[in-house]
A and B are shown apart, each in its own frame.
Chain A
Amino acid sequence: MLERIRNIICEFVDIDPEEITLETNIRKDLGLNSLELVNLAVEIEEEFDVEIPDREAMGLETVEDAIRIIEEYME
C-alpha cells in the first residue's frame, strides 16, 4: 500500500518515491497546498475504491495517516 501511495504522491511533487516514508508530512515536508491535498484525497479514493469523509481528508497529515484512513474505510 505504501508503494501505491508513493506513486500517487509523486504525481503531485517531483520527488524520489524512496524519500517518502510513513512519517512524511504531506503538507509540511512535501509542500502540498490545500488544493493539491484535496486532489490527492480524490486520487487516493479512486485508487483504493474508498470514500474518505471530508473531515478525515482535510485532516490528512502524514503518509501513515493516509494508510490508516484507507484501511479504516476499506473495511
Chain B
Amino acid sequence: MKIVRISVGQFTDAQFAEGYLHMSPARREKCDRYRREIDRKCCIAADMAVRNALSARFGVSPAEINIRVTPEGKPYAPDFPVRFSYAHCEGEIVLALGEREVGADIERVRPVSPRITRYFCCDSDLVYVFGAPAAPETDPIEDPEVLSRLFEVWTFKEALGKAWGTGLTKETKYAPFNDYPKYLAREGDFALCAYECEENA
C-alpha cells in the first residue's frame, strides 16, 4: 500500500484550474457543491493526486485517466489494476493506493463529545481509548492522549468503511481496532489512517 500526503498549499491557482478541467463531469458537480473554497480545492487536489500517482506508475497523461464513482460514492479508475481511496480535512489530503480495496481518512484532532463513540466504538475500542469499556461523562473530551487514541480509532473506522465500500456501519463499529493491521500517523494536529483489505471481495 502506498500513502501520499499533500496539502492544498502546494498548488497554484493555475494548477487548480487545470486540475478542475481534468475532472469528470460527475466529480466537477460534486466539487461545485462544496460551500467552502478550501473543500473545493481539496476535492480538486485529491483528484490531481490520484491522476499524478497513476500517471507516474503507468506512464499515461493525467488528463487521460478515467475516474468513476460507484453508486455508493467510492472512486475508482476502471482502466488500471489499482485501488485507491482519499480523504481531506481542512486543506490536508491523504491518498492510499493498493492492489486490494483500500480506505483512507484524515481528521484534525480536537475536543469532541464522548457520546460520539456510540457510533463507531466497540467495547475493546473503548478500553483502548479510555482504559474502560465505557466512555467517560466528561464532555467534551480534552485529554490530549485520550483524544489521540480516539482519533486513531475514528480514522481507522472511517478508512475501514471506505475500504469495505459501506461507510460507517454496525459492522465497522464492531470490527475491533486492535484486530486489524493498518497505517496510522499523527502529523501535527492531524490524525490519519490507511487500511488495505487482506483480500478483495
Contacts and interface: CB of A to CB of B under 8 A. Distances in A.
B57 interface: no
Interface in B27-44: 30, 33-36, 39
A15 B35 contact: yes
A54 B168 CA distance: 9
A58 B116 contact: no
A29 interface: yes
A54 B118 contact: yes
Given A28-B30, A34-B158, A57 B35 contact: no
B116 A42 contact: yes
Contacts of B89: 33
Interface in B132-161: 154, 158
Given A35-B154, A39-B116, A54 B170 contact: yes
A30 B107 CA distance: 18
Nearest to B172: A58
**By CB atoms of chain B within 10 A, which of A31, A34, A57 has the most?**
A34
Interface in B162-191: 167-170, 173
Contacts of A10: none
Interface in A38-75: 38-39, 41-42, 45, 54-55, 57-58
Given A31-B36, A54-B173, 14 more contacts: A13-B35, A15-B35, A28-B30, A28-B33, A31-B39, A35-B107, A35-B154, A38-B168, A39-B113, A45-B115, A55-B169, A57-B119, A58-B119, A58-B167
Interface of A: 13, 15, 28-31, 33-35, 38-39, 41-42, 45, 54-55, 57-58
13 contacts: A29-B33, A30-B35, A31-B36, A31-B39, A33-B89, A38-B116, A38-B120, A39-B112, A39-B113, A54-B118, A54-B119, A54-B173, A58-B167
**Sorted from nearest, which 4 A-B pairs have the closest CB atoms?**
A42-B115, A38-B116, A38-B119, A31-B39
